[in-house]
Structure 1
């Protein structure tokens, strides 16, 4: 077995060139059909190539592996025998096939290794090498064609060289233009970036200015609204003050006129205004006491005398009166009974009446129906009725007769200092009961 292996190796190394080329072609074709696990590592990268390319590129690797790797050679021989079944079976069984190509037989014998396979390779080596005979005329013709081809090639090369030179010159020009264009583009881009930055800055300034203008406009609108409100309030206040001044003046004038008329009637003065001789005689005249001042505060006659004064304003401390006469009655009933009784008094004497109640006594909305001519006021939160009474007295013009009905000594003294006359709640109750 060792001798056979040595002979095989010797024969393999001396394969005729045609046999070696055919062996490589058959093995390369079979290589693409073997499983990847059966292909040696150095040949795996050629397995995916086309057969012709695989045979050409893998020849330097495939030949030595076939010589040294018997397992791979047998796998390759099995695949080649499948593809060349008739001739492969004949070679494997040692049957001579006279019509077969000796090179093909030798290549199959090298792969299949039947008995006497070395003789088949040796027989292929003995084949004469066909040397083609040269035809002088053909050679001359081919020489002429070669010279013509060389001339044409030289001409083509010169034309191509000229075209290349022209293209190089054009390329230089185009490169120069390209550089100039790039420089212009770079400059334009810089200019564009600068202008974009300036535009963005301008937009920011415009937005800031717009925001400032809008804020100023809002402030101006708010100021205009505030001034309009102030103007409206001032006009309303001025109108109210003018109306109040006119009312106070008219009341005072009516009071003076009615007082003068009453005094004229009381004194029975003649219509004329001449000075009498007796008027020039010096002497002390009797002092006329003020109306009602010598009478007690609960005298009904004094109450009627004060109500007879012209343009008199009667101000009543509401709960001070009601709690004196109806102490156990609910407050809402006290209020209604008082204003109803005062309505009858107003109907008789045609006087101005204002009743003031403490607002702190209220536990809910007020349901009160005062009669015509009776004004009802409740003191606001944190203010007592006494203070509202004093405000009413101070609101009247000096000289108008004001009568305050309250049994509260502090109220009586404070309104007295303001020029008003005070009466007790008993006097009013007596006058109402009489009515």
Structure 2
């Protein structure tokens, strides 16, 4: 085995140059087709190269490995024989191929290693290498062309040098102009920034002045609207005061007339004179009955007597009555039931009725259809219904009978001090139920 390797190495190192180049080309081509596991480690990095680049770059590594690694050489020879089946089979079987290139045959024989492979290598070494004959005329012509090319190159170099100098001078001029332009642009930018700042400042002043003028205009418009509202309110208040004074006077006069007429009927006063014939007959007179009613406030009979007073005004604390009568019903249902029942009472008695509800109980716009003759009021924001009731009592002329229906003791006491009569909510509920 050692003798065989020595002989192979000696033969390999004596390969003619054309045969060696062809062997490296064939082996490099086969290298790209082998699996990575069959390629020696030093050659793996060349496997992915293009064939021509692989043959050129791997020559210094591929040649020694072919000389020493018989296993790799046989794998490469197998791939080469597949690429060149006819010539490869002929060389491997020892069949002479006279028309074949001796260099090609020697390269295949070196890789395939038939018994006569060394003879093929020796035969390729005997092939004469043609040496080109020098052509004097061609040499002269080429020398002249070379001189001419050198002259033209020198002229071109001089022209290029002149152009470079011109371009350098032009570059210097352009740089100077560029610097001047940059300086002018910088100055213009500074001036532009200054003018922009001045314009923005002027715009700010104009906006501030415009805003101030608009504020003054709004103030003047608001003042004008306020004065117009005051003037309208003053005129309306004056007219309402005159009308209210007339109404209060007329109500008081009607109250006095009806009270006098009722008192005359109740006392059965004679048409004239103080002394009657029966007054001359002696006898014991009964004691005088106490003045006023002694019945409780929730007495239905007392409620009817008060409603019978001339020009009576019935003022009702709405929620105080509804929450006593129908506590489990929604507020809107309570309001509608109360005003509907009062409508029937107004139709029977021909009295003036005002119902006051607390505005704080409202959660939105009120949908209510009071019957004719029933006045409904909601206390404004920040004012309770009790205060609205007291204002209604104060608004009536002194002497007019006023009945306030509320179980609230504070409301009852305050309205009694103002001259009204107070009844409980249960008396009204009983009267409504009876109706």
TM-score, normalised via structure 2 length: 0.57
TM-score, normalised via structure 1 length: 0.57
CA distance in structure 1 between the partners assigned to 2:23 and 2:390 by the alignment: 139
Counterpart position of 1:133: 133
> By how many angstroms is 1:382 displaced?
4.2
> By how many angstroms is 1:145 displaced?
2.1
CA distance in structure 2 between the partners assigned to 1:158 and 1:40 by the alignment: 56
Which deviates more from structure 2 when the two are superposed, residues 243-252 or residues 214-223?
243-252
Alignment of 1:28-177 (within 5 A): 28-174=28-174
- Structure showing greater Rg: 1
Answer whether contact 1:77 1:112 (CA < 8 A) is retained.
yes
CA distance in structure 2 between the partners assigned to 1:142 and 1:371 by the alignment: 145
- Render the CA deviation track for 1:21-44: whole Å, top value 9, x for unaligned: 111222222233333443334434
CA distance in structure 2 between the partners assigned to 1:322 and 1:369 by the alignment: 26
CA distance in structure 1 between the partners assigned to 2:393 and 2:129 by the alignment: 155
Answer whether contact 1:11 1:118 (CA < 8 A) is retained.
yes
- Cα pair distance change 1:191/1:141, threshold 3 Å: same
Answer whether contact 1:356 1:388 (CA < 8 A) is retained.
no
CA distance in structure 1 between the partners assigned to 2:34 and 2:402 by the alignment: 135
CA distance in structure 2 between the partners assigned to 1:179 and 1:154 by the alignment: 37
Counterpart position of 2:23: 23
> By how many angstroms is 1:375 displaced?
7.3
CA distance in structure 2 between the partners assigned to 1:172 and 1:405 by the alignment: 112
- Cα pair distance change 1:86/1:208, threshold 3 Å: farther
> By how many angstroms is 1:303 displaced?
11
- Cα pair distance change 1:150/1:229, threshold 3 Å: same
Gaps of 5+ in 2: 254-259, 274-291, 323-337, 357-384, 404-414, 420-435
> By how many angstroms is 1:197 displaced?
8.2
Counterpart position of 1:359: 316
> By how many angstroms is 1:5 displaced?
0.7
CA distance in structure 2 between the partners assigned to 1:404 and 1:95 by the alignment: 153
CA distance in structure 2 between the partners assigned to 1:405 and 1:117 by the alignment: 148
- Cα pair distance change 1:245/1:184, threshold 3 Å: same
- Render the CA deviation track for 1:67-98: whole Å, top value 9, x for unaligned: 23322221211111122222222222233333
SS at match of 1:359: strand
SS at match of 2:312: strand
- Cα pair distance change 1:26/1:371, threshold 3 Å: closer
CA distance in structure 2 between the partners assigned to 1:251 and 1:379 by the alignment: 20
- Render the CA deviation track for 1:298-355: whole Å, top value 9, x for unaligned: 85549999xxxxxxxxxxxxxx78979x965484x5566x26xx5xxxxxxxxxxx32
Counterpart position of 1:262: none
Q: Over aligned residues, Cα RMSD in angstroms?
A: 5.3
- Cα pair distance change 1:371/1:141, threshold 3 Å: closer
SS at match of 1:99: coil
